[in-house]
Structure 1
Amino acid sequence: MDPDTMRGDGGDVYWRRRMSVLVAVLVVVAVVAWACSSGGSGPERASSAKSSPSATPAVDPLLAGLRTLALGTASPSPSPSAPRPTPAALPKHPGDPCAEQDLVLSMQGGREPIYTGDSQPTFLVTLVNTGSVMCTADVGPRAMEIRITSGADRIWSTADCVSGAGSEVKELQRGVPYVRSLVWNRHRSSTDCRSTPAAALPGTYVATVRMGQLRTVKGVFHLR
């Protein structure tokens, strides 16, 4: 060993050189270890993965997500032997029950809005089928109810004290009105079918016709 290296500052230079060599060796070892442990970047690792049947290739998570999305939203192609069914409206045959949206219900009162003495109010009810084919509707006193009220007081109704089933099914041709005429005897009605109903008092009354969800306009008249 050169004796000049052990004197004064020369010793520090010597140890610094030794430490630099040691650090360089450690860096080289770390780089080699990292290269060996990296997944499939070198040609040797790629060739070994290709030759090994049990090796599983790395899958890009982004591509895997896109593939899953495509498979989940894709529609299968229709088979030539099994064409895709198309939705169709159910057929409507003549004689089926009428749909409410195809019915027009109206009512007309008597010529005089004021009835005096023994004169009785009269009403004319019409029901028209506007559908494409003939249909049937129940125009019985319960299904097509004519009701007379005075304020909140229910005075009279065709649905009160009905004998039997109270149904009356009619065939309604397209555009041909069904007409019913009604005369009110100026007496009250009740659901308990009292034999001697009380007479209605003089005052203002309102008549309406109800059929399911259908309602006519109110007909206002007066008893004197």
Structure 2
Amino acid sequence: MRGDGGDIYWRRRMSVLVAVLVVVAVVAWACSSGGSGPERASSAQSSPSVTPTTDQLLAGLRTLAMGTGSPSPSPSPSASPSAGAAATPSPRRRPGEPCADDDLVLSLQSGGKEQIYSGDQRPTFIVTLVNTGSVMCTVDVGPRAMEVRITSGADRIWSTVDCVSGPGAEVQKLRRGVPYVRTLEWDRRRSSVDCRAERSAALPGTYVATVRMGALRGGKGVFHLR
């Protein structure tokens, strides 16, 4: 018990122990003094055997109190992890299944060495996709699934997902370690999601090209138009 209940319990316990001590002390004193007059009592008071007897009783009562106290609750053993909680290996993939994102590495590189395009020069980009998995897998690399986007600051300039005709899907088989490579050329004109007939030319400045496939990101390439 804890709190007030525990205090009451120990007060009662100590009261009983003190009462026992008093009774034992009285009996010991009566036996030692006997009842033969003042000289006998004086002899008992000067005897050094009374003090050790009392000390021994106190030590015995202290030991009794410590030994008969309510046992402290033992800490419950920590729950051991069950066998079912152990991590199970992922099932083996079969050839031809869709590629997992964890097995794909997507990257983009600018085709120009100096990354500065003057006059009518058109920026080119090289996109690579590599399967690092253990078996061949399939992936959609169409213009909607694999988006290359060009921005300038917060301005969205051009994207491959704009004005795509047809289904826009292109499923490729990726063997382990054999990269899929796509080369893109930008005509230096803006695009829009509403497919306007007139596409204005991009102004000179600094631009950023990025590539993405769902949750995958392939870095970015910075280039300049002059």
The TM-score, its normalising length taken from structure 1, stands at 0.61
Mind listing any 5+ residue stretches in structure 1 that lack a counterpart? 1-72, 74-85
CA distance in 2, matches of 1:129, 1:220: 26
Residue 104 of structure 2 aligns with which residue?
A: 103
- Alpha-carbon distance between aligned partners in 2 of 1:131 and 1:190, rounded to the nearest angstrom: 36
- C-alpha offsets along residues 131-150 of structure 1, whole Å, 9 cap, x if unaligned? 00000011000111000000
5+ residue gaps, structure 2? 1-78, 80-86
What's the CA shift string for 1:86-140, capped at 9, x where partnerless? 9663231100000111001111102231110000000000000000000001100
Give the letter for the 1:138 counterpart: D
Number of aligned residue pairs: give it: 146
What does residue 94 of structure 1 align with? 95
**What is the distance in 2 between the residues matched to 1:89 and 1:215?**
24
Alignment pair present for 1:123 and 2:125: yes
1:217 and 1:88 map into 2 onto residues whose CA distance is: 31
- Could you list the runs of 4 or more consecutive aligned residues of structure 1 that deviate by over 3 angstroms after TM superposition? 86-89
Q: 2:204 aligns with which of 190, 202, 210?
A: 202
1:73-88 matched pairs, under 5 angstroms: none
Instruction: Tell me the amino acid that sits aligned with residue 124 of structure 2.
Output: T
**Distance in 2, Cα, partners of 1:89 & 1:104:** 20
Q: Compute the TM-score of the two structures, normalised by the length of structure 2.
A: 0.60
> Aligned Cα RMSD in Å?
2.3
Q: Deviations over 1:197-216 (max 9, x none)?
A: 11101110000001111112
Q: 2:35 maps to which residue? A: none
Mark the structure with the bigger radius of gyration.
Answer: 1
**Residue 179 in structure 1 maps to residue 212 in structure 2:** no
